[in-house]
């Protein structure tokens, strides 16, 4: 190796690597833009189910409908399992146990058979970890997950659950 290259390599190794910017997803409407001053920090791919329960309608107890219970999904980053997504909704790291809870701000239609894209406000758990400082969550690229098709929810199925497969990409935003 060239002796002149050795000092350069030592200096380059001592400089911390800059965080690679995560670009915002394509095709989101203005209503799904995170508030000013926030930027996407990381993206997790979800694969799992959306759970629905057959229950009496609140406006007519003799009629029944599918009611959303919550998601149950595995979260992956670069193909590796890094967490889970569950009712709340919450996203939790399997590595550091940090988590973030979301509350819906706005939505955008994702086409027939797909749950909508959503922008959610994020409330992280205490402490440090992957989800510390998350301020917004954007769900996009959804496939599947809509309530069971063809009805089938009636008095004989009251209390029964249906699990509908879905996938989505979740972008997690933090303040700049």
Quick: pLDDT tens for 28-80. 989 999 999 999 999 999 999 999 999 999 999 899 999 999 999 999 999 99
pLDDT in tens, 95-141: 999 999 999 999 999 999 999 999 999 999 877 899 999 999 999 99
- Is 4 inside a domain boundary? no
Q: How far apart are CA 174 and CA 14, in angstroms?
A: 26
Domain with 151 in it:
39-175
Among 15-19, 35-39, 92-96, the least confident range: 15-19
Identify whether 108 is part of a domain.
yes
> What is the structure's pLDDT at 3?
53
Residue found by looking up tokens 């190794």 in the block: 13
Query: Is 22 inside any structural domain?
Result: no
Residue 165 in domain:
yes
The region, left, alpha or beta by phi > 0 then psi within -120 to 50, assigned to residue 95 is alpha
How many domains does the chain divide into?
1
DSSP state letter for 114: B
In a domain, 53, yes or no: yes
CA dist., res. 176 & res. 174, Å (int): 6
In a domain, 77, yes or no: yes
27 in a structural domain:
no
Is residue 98 situated within a structural domain? yes
pLDDT at 7: 44
């Amino acid at each position: 190796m060239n002796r002149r290259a050795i000092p350069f390599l030592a200096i380059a190794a001592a400089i911390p690597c800059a965080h690679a910017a995560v670009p915002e997803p394509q095709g989101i409407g203005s209503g799904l833009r995170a508030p000013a001053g926030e930027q996407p920090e990381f993206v997790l791919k979800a694969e799992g189910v959306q759970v629905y329960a057959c229950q009496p309608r609140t406006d007519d107890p003799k009629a029944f409908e599918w009611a959303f219970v919550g998601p149950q999904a595995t979260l992956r980053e670069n193909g590796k399992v890094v967490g889970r997504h569950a009712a709340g909704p919450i996203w939790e790291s399997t590595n550091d146990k940090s988590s973030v809870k979301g509350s819906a701000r706005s939505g955008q239609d994702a086409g027939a058979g797909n749950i909508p894209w959503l922008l959610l406000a994020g409330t992280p758990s205490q402490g440090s970890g992957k989800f510390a400082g998350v301020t917004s969550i954007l769900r996009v690229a959804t496939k599947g997950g809509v309530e069971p098709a063809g009805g089938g929810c009636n008095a004989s199925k009251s209390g029964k659950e249906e699990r509908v497969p879905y996938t989505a990409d979740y972008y997690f935003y933090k303040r700049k």
